[in-house]
Amino acid sequence: MKVSVIIPTLNEEGVIAASIESAVNGCGGGSVEVIVSDGGSSDRTCRIAGSMGAKVLEAPRGRGAQMDRASKVASGEVLLFLHADSRLPPGWYDAVKRALEDEEVVGGGFTLYIDSPGRWFRIVEQGVRLRSRWLGLIYGDQAIFARRSEFLNTGGFRRLPLMEDVDCVNRLKSRGRLCVLEERVTTSGRRWARYGTVANTLRNGLFLLLYFLGVSPQRLYLWYYGTGS
């Protein structure tokens, strides 16, 4: 089984090396390719990724568009989408392989661990665990993986600017079963830093609610990044 690890980037020179290393070192000799899909970095992200043996692609800016671009050229039977500020656990390849030995499983994600101290982060992690296992809501920071054929047949991330992970996972669920692995993917706590842990969690919940109420990902993107009214 060959796995294509796809990492979307934009000015991630400080974290990209650790992300790539986790993909390579944790594969245990399995067949893996790493694809960095870059949205126009002005720093050394692409240079670092290339020096580490990753395939580097240029793509239209936007995480959904960048990941979709990479999925078209990936050679693996399985696609795994890893955020640039996240690290896969040791033995991740074997865990994915075991999960996909069940033919009813079309994909899944990992258990989330936030690389920051503090009780609130542990509460957030437990919330994610419950959400993903009981509601089937697996987010991109959990390193979503899927059989390539099923991912492409359902339309991929559809180049959405926001909520691309929720949208994709909902369509994958119609094709088969999704599983959440016990192995933990480690993600940076930096996205909580801007608004604070509590405020950011509430803010993300609000945007998820607005999405399920029918607000378009394009409009949510403008509101989320403060460029719309």
pLDDT digits (tens, 9 = 90+) for 163-203: 999 999 999 999 999 999 999 999 998 876 666 777 778 88
Distances 131 to 16, 116, 126 between C-alpha atoms, Å: 28, 20, 9
CATH topology classification for 2-194 = Spore Coat Polysaccharide Biosynthesis Protein SpsA; Chain A (3.90.550)
Task: Select from 168, 136, 164 the least CA-distant residue to 151.
Answer: 168
Judge whether residue 113 has pLDDT over 90: yes
Cα(147)–Cα(154) distance, rounded to whole angstroms? 11
With beta carbons less than 8 A apart as the criterion, state whether 70 and 35 touch: yes
For residue 112, the number of C-alpha atoms closer than 13 Å in the C-beta half-sphere is 29
Residue 226 banded pLDDT, cuts 50, 70, 90: confident
Task: Select from 133, 213, 143, 115 the least CA-distant residue to 179.
Answer: 133
Residue 141 banded pLDDT, cuts 50, 70, 90: very high
Predicted local distance difference test score (pLDDT) of residue 228 = 45
User: In the β-sheet with 2-9, what is the strand arrangement from edge to edge?
Assistant: 55-58, 31-38, 2-9, 78-81, 145-147, 105-114, 177-187, 86-87
Extents of the domains making up the chain = 2-194
Residue percentage of the chain with pLDDT more than 70: 97
Distances 176 to 58, 103, 104, 133 between C-alpha atoms, Å: 32, 9, 6, 15
